[in-house]
Homo-oligomer: A and B are copies of this chain.
Amino acid sequence: MTSTSAPLRLNPDRLLPPDPGLRAIARGLYESVRDLPILSPHGHVDAQLLLADEPFGDPASLLVAPDHYVTRLLHASGVPLETLGVGRGSLTGAEAREAWRQVCTHWHVFRGTPVRYWLDSELSQIFGITERPSAKNADDLYDRISACLEADDFRPRALFARFGVEVLATTDDPCDDLRAHEQLAADHGFGGRVIPTFRPDRYLDPSAGGWAEAVGALGAVAGTDIGDFAGYVAALEERRRYFIEHGAVSADHGHVDARTDPLEVSDAARIYRAALAGTASDAEAVAFRRHMLLEMARMSCDDGLVMTIHPGALRGHHPTTAARFGPDTGHDIPVRTEYTRALRPLLDRFGEHPNLHLVLFTLDETVWSRELAPLAGFYPSVYVGAPWWFLDAPDAIRRFRDAVTETAGFSRTSGFIDDTRAFCSIPARHDMSRRVDCGYLAQLVAEHRMDLDEAYETATELVVTNPRRVFKL
């Protein structure tokens, strides 16, 4: 390192309100929850990673290539996705080094974003880096992180323990055999709880590419004849049972809209047959998918899986990139989303069912005050999901509490969800949430809208009580 590198320092009061009076209150609240365990009921880490417990390969494969939060803004800044290693499997040393260099060279484009905040935290707290990344120190930082990654205490399980993760939910295909989860649970050398999540999107939407084949595979793993609609439903039920047996607590749904209009069973069965034969119309496929979301709620009432819904992403907005680099490569773009009418059929039937926990996430923050808080403030089954994707950042989290609390309070919110494929960012993400929520509570205390003892109690509830209750952990 040359002497001219700017320092990278994590201020202990970061993200707390600047006003001295507020900061003092917020600091106390934060200290009371800082070291509580991490509950991560929704995310995208691969269970195999923890099962294998191999050393992470290199800084770019760990921190850059798989994380569309990082790569999208670099792409916008003119760095080709291939240079960042997106969608390429393993990288050569030179490729990984170059990808990392691009991150460091473009460090300024992340100013003010949560990616910058998370990377700062990871570099400082996990890897002990004390200089701000730049073109100049990129290679040096690469070498130092690489050296860390070779050490045993930087292997996945060691980090898992160091991060204080109590529960980590993965997101899994219904056909997955969950072998990794099973072996991890049986492994007495691993103390963590890693649970699968049932994510059936592609099996519910006949317009998804390869749907008929996917349903065929589902029937095969479920041991069910999926030749008719009843068998298809039974296959889904069977796989949910299998997931529950392997520790799953929730099923996750991410279609473009949240509609749950019912079909007559005979119509559903007819469309199902047509879809298998490849003759269902676009409108029929959509109607079927909406009916199946309702059916998933029915199953959740029966088997108790928490139902999470996060509609409103237009996937693969840039077809060229999707074709070349695959899904989840940074160009899923939000669209306006409706919940009040969309969920009415579901809530009419199941909204007061004691087994149903329905957690509603959004990429469209306009629904927080208008739809989600009002729904969660009446229906005992409904919870407002924490700020998520594009909104999991300090200012957005404040807007979330500001928009939701006055109608739904704190008890009707889900607790933080990191939703990440970036394993090393998990503690930074949860820490961010704790800091910002404590800042919000401090504001309520300073405005005499809440007493201090209540704020302390609420801070803990948001971090551990709510996630445990809402996700049945």
Q: Which residues of A contact B (CB under 8 A)?
A: 6, 10-11, 13-22, 72-73, 75-78, 108-114, 116-117, 132, 314, 317-320, 330-331, 333-336, 338, 340-341, 344, 347-348, 351-352, 363-366, 369-371, 373-380, 382, 390-391, 393-396, 399, 402-403, 405-412, 443-444, 446-451, 453-454, 457-458
Contact B18 A378 (CB under 8 A): no
**Given known contacts A320-B352, A447-B394, A334 and B409 CB-to-CB distance under 8 angstroms:** no
**Given known contacts A112-B409, A320-B352, A336-B370, A75 and B378 CB-to-CB distance under 8 angstroms:** yes
Q: Which of B318, B344, B376 is A347 in contact with, Cβ under 8 Å?
A: B318
Contact A18 B14 (CB under 8 A): no
Q: How far is the CA of A77 from the CA of B409 in the complex (A)?
A: 11
Contacts of A411 in B (CB 8 A): 77, 108-109
Contacts of A14 in B (CB 8 A): 447-449
Q: How far is the CA of A79 from the CA of B96 in the complex (A)?
A: 57
Q: How far is the CA of A342 from the CA of B286 in the complex (A)?
A: 21
Contact B340 A451 (CB under 8 A): no
Contact B351 A448 (CB under 8 A): no
| Protomer copies | 3
Q: How far is the CA of A379 from the CA of B344 in the complex (A)?
A: 36
| Other A-B pairs, 16, CB within 8 Å; known A318-B379, A336-B370 | A15-B449, A75-B378, A76-B377, A76-B382, A108-B411, A111-B454, A112-B406, A112-B449, A113-B407, A132-B451, A318-B352, A320-B348, A333-B375, A335-B371, A366-B370, A395-B402
Contacts of A454 in B (CB 8 A): 108, 111
Contacts of A72 in B (CB 8 A): 377-378
Contacts of A336 in B (CB 8 A): 338, 366, 370
